[in-house]
């Protein structure tokens, strides 16, 4: 997982996306009012794949009702058994994002994997700073596990998944619930794992590639009310003392992403802890490409690769102390 000796060229889809972004002349998100920035972030609309069923509901959260959206594949109506279930936490720097912002991604993930998907509308900062989102993530996982029989979910094939800040919540919540709830796998797309911001990837990609270092500084200031929170393992999972209880992991990084090296470091720590890791890096891609399915063909490719990983994980017996690691750099 060391830094690549040669910088790969930007993917053609990334070039086109960045050109459109530059032509739009939008101000940086941290320099405009929060409500306006949230409205702009929510404006990304992608193709809504047809699936079997979508249900919005509200459950009891730690301090307030917690909204969920459940997606079921078309085959579910004909299938007699229980569905594997993916609990999904959206990205957005803990400040942006909603059930709607990642609706297209959840639909396609449901269609391509054949899994039920439960998307979680956790509380956002700065109104609800750390650790509110962590507590909501844990409440959602507990609810899915408790409701598995009623909802025809397969509790033995429960997966946590997220992109960026959502991947951070997925792995933190899964680690905190180890021993209470069995998570079969975690899927982490360009996760936030640390707040050091001095790695080579932060320096190489500090600006010009969608997510900037200045924006990450701003997201961090909104989410973490105290400087010492940045060293808490529930905020920075890379700093957790013990990762050995975490399940088989699919971990994706992007070459032109400030978060790249922190993702690589987390993959290495998991491997060193004996966790089975499928690590893949899309060297020509930028942060945030997974939810922009109409702009980036690679997003659908990653979903298909995620499906392969999950099928392999569900069908394979884990041998303690025998990590199986696959690395893919593209």
Percent of the chain with pLDDT over 90: 84
pLDDT at 138 over 50: yes
The 10s digit of each residue's pLDDT in 56-106 is: 999 999 989 999 999 999 876 556 679 999 999 999 999 999 999 999 999
Q: For position 5, what pLDDT does the model report?
A: 54
- Across 128-165, b (16+ Cβ under 10 Å) vs e yields bbbbbbbbbbbbbbebbbebbeebbbbbebbbbbbbbb
* Contact call for residues 95 and 168 (beta carbons, < 8 A): no
pLDDT tens-digit readout, 120-130: 999 999 999 99
- pLDDT score of 46: 81
Q: State the pLDDT at residue 81.
A: 77
Q: Render pLDDT for 241-276 as a digit per residue (tens, 0 to 9).
A: 999 999 999 999 999 999 999 999 999 999 999 999
Phi and psi of 18, rounded to 5°?
Answer: -65, -35
Mean predicted confidence (pLDDT) in 316-324: 46
At 80 the pLDDT is 62
What span, in angstroms and rounded, lies between the C-alpha atoms of 168 and 273? 18
Please provide the average confidence, as pLDDT, over all residues in the chain: 93
Residues forming the active site = 164, 257, 287
50-69 per-position pLDDT tens digit: 999 999 999 999 989 999 99
Tokens describing residue 62: 């730690």
Say if residues 317 and 35 touch (Cβ distance below 8 Å).
no
What pLDDT does 39 receive?
Answer: 84
DSSP-assigned states of every residue in 111-123:
HHH--EEEEEE--
Coil, helix or strand for 274?
A: coil
Q: What's the average model confidence in pLDDT over 7-15?
A: 96
Q: Supply φ then ψ for residue 46, to 5 degrees.
A: -125, 170
Encoded tokens for 270: 């998991």
More confident residue, 279 or 322: 279
The confidence score (pLDDT) of residue 166 equals 98
What is the reported pLDDT for 42? 74
Report the pLDDT value the prediction gives residue 318, as an integer from 0 to 100: 41
pLDDT of residue 78: 53
Give the CA distances from residue 138 to residues 81, 198, 301, in Å, rounded to whole numbers and listed in that order.
26, 30, 29
Distances in whole angstroms, Cα of residue 291 to Cα of each of 45, 226, 278: 9, 30, 21
pLDDT of residue 205: 97
Averaged pLDDT for residues 12-37: 92
The highest-level CATH class for domain 12-329 is alpha beta
């Amino acid at each position: 997982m060391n830094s690549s000796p040669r910088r790969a060229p930007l993917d053609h889809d990334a070039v086109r996306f960045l050109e459109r972004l530059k032509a739009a002349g939008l101000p940086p998100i941290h320099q405009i009012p929060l409500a306006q920035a949230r409205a702009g972030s929510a404006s990304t609309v992608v193709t809504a794949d047809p699936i079997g069923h979508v249900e919005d509901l509200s459950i009891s959260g730690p301090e307030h009702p917690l909204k969920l959206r459940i997606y079921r594949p078309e085959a579910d109506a004909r299938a007699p058994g229980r569905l594997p279930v993916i609990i999904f936490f959206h990205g957005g720097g803990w400040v942006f994002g909603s059930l709607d912002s990642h609706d297209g991604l959840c639909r396609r993930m449901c269609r391509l994997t054949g899994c039920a998907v439960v998307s979680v509308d956790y509380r956002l900062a700065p109104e609800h700073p750390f650790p509110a989102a962590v507590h909501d993530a844990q409440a959602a996982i507990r609810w899915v596990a408790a409701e598995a029989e009623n909802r025809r979910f397969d509790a033995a094939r429960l997966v946590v998944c997220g992109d960026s800040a959502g991947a951070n919540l997925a792995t933190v919540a899964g680690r905190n619930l180890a021993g209470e709830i069995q998570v079969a796998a975690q899927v982490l797309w360009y996760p936030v794992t640390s707040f050091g911001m001095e790695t080579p990837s932060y320096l190489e990609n500090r600006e010009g590639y969608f997510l900037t270092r200045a924006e990450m500084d701003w997201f961090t200031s909104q989410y973490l009310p105290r400087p010492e929170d940045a060293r808490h393992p529930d905020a920075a999972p890379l700093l957790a003392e013990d990762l050995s209880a975490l399940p088989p992991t699919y971990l994706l990084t992007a070459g032109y992403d400030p978060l790249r090296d922190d993702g690589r470091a987390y993959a290495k720590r998991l491997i060193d802890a004996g966790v089975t890791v499928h690590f893949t890096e899309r060297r020509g891609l930028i942060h945030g490409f997974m939810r922009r399915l109409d702009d980036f063909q690679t997003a659908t490719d990653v979903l298909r690769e995620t499906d392969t990983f999950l099928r392999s994980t569900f069908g394979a017996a884990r041998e303690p102390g025998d990590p199986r690691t696959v690395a893919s750099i593209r």
